[in-house]
Chain A
């Protein structure tokens, strides 16, 4: 929550920077990446999409403490629903995004009503079970979902009638970058709101929160549903930019990857998602080119080191350096 004293004395410029500084940083980083690696726009687009996905995890796990390994269920729900919408109703992308968000929210709300009454290993297993059941259903309903082959040639019209998707992926990149910034903006404000603080309280001690009058279960369902909506948006973007959807969008590997990316970046901070995703993706890209098992070794060691020595992840490390730099000149 805003610090009254600071707000009253800081100049307008600093306030404005605090308001959208981080979002501008994301835009700058994205544009820089696109300019430096114009042939890898597809890769960068994937980073943007997974960034949104991991942000949804940062909300659900990092803010509210809901330990889930089934977030892919909402991503996949968003992917498939946006694809089906585009194939059967309308190829207009923004409406597809809305459909994806609703699908993700719906799956989250439905599963959350059961899931969120449990904790620990039970919650983990239930979240995995839901995602797996959804995956098997998608597998069996092949006439609708394409089964094992998935859906392909998903049509996508120009965004707002103006920006048509091109083969080089520039529009896709811009589209996902804009969405990433919008999601980041919304989540940053949510974290700074009373709702966000209450979620952090629930993460810290549920019993304490009940003794403070907070309707804990209701809160958890709401935040889980929100997280599902964002994951659904990420899924929809994936369907629209790659124009294919497969069973892997519902798979356990995706959920686990999201968790790994978030923890490397720093679980407790939204920026952790934005740091962890590119780090993970780039390491995998580089190491896997050498030997697919090498990247597993690197990521495994990175995880162990992070958990044991850098519990706040890369974000914590950067934060420490920044504080040390600030104190330095004295």
Chain B
């Protein structure tokens, strides 16, 4: 029983981090049809920005984190406008290569700016330490991540399903041509969606710094992980990404606990099986030939 709970709690915490980081990638793919291999760089940027604000500027955690998220979202705007938007209509391979280039540059710049050493994010007292849930005690931080993840998912769902921005977003994902014809400013939409995705990735990166430690190679090291979540969930679907994150997060954690020998294979096998049976992902739409 305690084992099951451990797996679920650790697995879902991992899943929430994956979800927050990758939801922006999924939206970019579904909305602008762009494969952004540099997406992990936003998660990394969030982490490094938070650390810099806390250590070099002396800000406290509660201010540094939102500021880092905001900073990342704003920083993503010129990247989207001047670099990534130029490959929107190009073949997937070109998009992948351009964004890999952006990722390399991001890694190099972060390293040159902050040097090879980087401090971990220090958690404030109200997030550190254990909480005793009766059968086992868990790190407070991990439970906070789960709570944060659900809050973010719920907020995102409400935002996309109910707000006017969300309606425009869904219209453009469905059919960009018609959306434009109806007067939706797709350029503004793309930039905003991109920035929101980047900000969420930053949040996920900060929240997940314990599981996915901050380092200069972050974007490339975890690239396959992030892409896997999006591919398995189906591009452009919020629910699909959420479910895929849960599936992959829990399977990976369960394997680490129960079958440590095949833990690393289990992740890729799951991805293989899902994509073999449903190439468009769990909730993706079948694309026309």
Residues of A within 8 A of B (CB): 61, 67, 69, 114, 117-122, 124-126, 128-130, 132-133, 136-137, 139-140, 206-207, 252, 256, 259-260, 263, 267, 293-294, 296-297, 299-304, 306-308, 311
Contact = CB atoms under 8 A, between A and B. Distances in A.
Question: Nearest 7 CB-CB pairs, A to B?
Answer: A303-B101, A300-B104, A297-B108, A300-B105, A125-B231, A304-B101, A136-B265
Given A129-B268, A137-B265, 14 more contacts: A120-B287, A129-B228, A129-B271, A129-B275, A132-B224, A136-B262, A207-B289, A260-B97, A293-B108, A296-B107, A300-B101, A300-B103, A303-B101, A307-B98
22 contacts: A67-B96, A119-B287, A121-B92, A122-B279, A122-B280, A122-B281, A124-B227, A125-B231, A125-B271, A126-B276, A132-B268, A133-B272, A139-B264, A140-B261, A263-B97, A300-B106, A301-B105, A303-B100, A307-B90, A308-B86, A308-B98, A311-B94
B241 interface: no
A299 B105 CA distance: 8
B83 interface: yes
A293 B98 contact: no
Contact of B105 (A122, A267, A297): A297
Nearest to A206: B289
B112 A118 contact: no
Contact of B224 (A120, A128, A263): A128
B102 interface: yes
A139 B260 CA distance: 13
B231 A307 contact: no
A252 B224 contact: yes
B97 A259 contact: yes
Interface of B: 29, 35, 83, 86-87, 90-94, 96-98, 100-109, 111-112, 216, 220, 224, 227-228, 230-232, 235, 261-262, 264-265, 268-269, 271-272, 275-276, 279-281, 287, 289
Nearest to A205: B289
Contacts of A117: 279
Nearest to A126: B275
Nearest to B280: A122
Given A293-B112, A302-B101, A307 B94 contact: yes
A324 B111 CA distance: 42
Contact of A299 (B104, B261, B276, B280): B104
A180 B141 CA distance: 55
A301 B101 contact: yes
A67 B35 CA distance: 12
B103 A136 contact: no
A125 B92 contact: no
A293 B287 contact: no
Contact of B104 (A132, A259, A303): A303
A246 B87 CA distance: 36
A87 B262 CA distance: 27
A120 B275 CA distance: 12
Nearest to A267: B93
Contacts of B111: 293
B230 A300 contact: no
B105 A304 contact: yes
Contacts of B224: 128, 132, 252
Contacts of A260: 97, 100
Contacts of B220: 256
A133 B111 CA distance: 31
Contacts of B280: 122
B265 A125 contact: no
A118 B289 CA distance: 10
B275 A303 contact: no
Nearest to B83: A304
B98 A304 contact: yes
Contacts of B87: 307-308
Nearest to A304: B101
Given A118-B275, A260-B100, A304-B102, A293 B231 contact: no
A121 B227 contact: yes
A125 B108 contact: no
Contacts of B279: 117-118, 122
Nearest to A308: B86
B278 to A, nearest CB: 9
Contact of A303 (B86, B93, B98): B98
B231 A299 contact: no
A262 to B, nearest CB: 9
Contacts of A307: 87, 90, 94, 97-98, 101
B91 to A, nearest CB: 8
A316 to B, nearest CB: 14
A13 B224 CA distance: 51
Nearest to B90: A307
Contacts of A61: 93
A129 B272 contact: yes
A274 to B, nearest CB: 19
Contacts of B107: 293, 296, 300
A220 B49 CA distance: 46
A326 B86 CA distance: 33
Contacts of A120: 35, 92, 287
Contacts of A133: 265, 268-269, 272
